[in-house]
Amino acid sequence: MAASTCPASRDEIDELVDLAHREPRQARSILARHPDLSLEPSRWGETCVQAASHLGHTALLLEMLAWDVRLDLFAECALGMHEKAVAALCSSRVEPEGVHGLPILHFGVVSRKVQTVKALLAAGAALNPRACSLPPLHTAIACREIDVVCALLEAGADPAAVDVFGDTALDWAIDLDGERSPLVAVLSAPR
């Protein structure tokens, strides 16, 4: 990885990590010139790699990979490269958690790849993690991935589980796409 030609201030790192959340294209243009900043932590401890991975900004993650930035297993999982995450699940009694305490399955869901979600579940990823601020089913709703939502429901995801604010996945689906959306229909179907 190339060394940065201009050291960034703490404020600039914070702004860059914020951009990686909100405006991944803008973050990508800066990181293209200074890829080593991808792993610099913000004041709150989050890096651009972590921001991109938990939000599923795959284009930004793929660019980082091309720049030889070392991605962690959560970022790889968000890209659908789930082998390290599966190995971690199989070799430990404690499920790995990513940035913001998000469960490993969250990162599989943001990959938007059913095979990644199924591989993580087969390896023992928690389908309905306790004390989780954002259950994986909510993440699938936010991604608007019906196939992933169906895979989670078939595996036993709890549609009544709530996020940190007390909202169910159905609440999210209605808020995102209205009461007549396909996501609402899938969540409302009898099981």
Distance CA 3, CA 160 (A): 48
Nearest to 67 by CA among 26, 29, 41, 19: 29
List, for residues 59-98, the tens digit of each pLDDT value.
999 999 999 999 999 999 999 999 999 999 999 888 889 9
Question: Helix, strand, coil: what percent of the chain each, to 5?
Answer: 60, 0, 40
Please state the CATH superfamily assignment of the domain spanning residues 96-188 in this structure: Ankyrin repeat-containing domain (1.25.40.20)
Structure tokens at 120: 């993580």
CA separation, residue 68 to residues 34, 65, 154 (Å): 12, 5, 38
Residue 2: the pLDDT is 43
Percent of the chain with pLDDT over 90: 87
Q: Looking up tokens 């990508």, which residue turns up?
A: 28
pTM for this entry: 0.91
Domain boundaries, given as residue ranges, for the chain: 10-71, 96-188
**Sign of the alpha-carbon dihedral angle for 11, 16, 17, 19:** positive
Residue count of the chain: 191
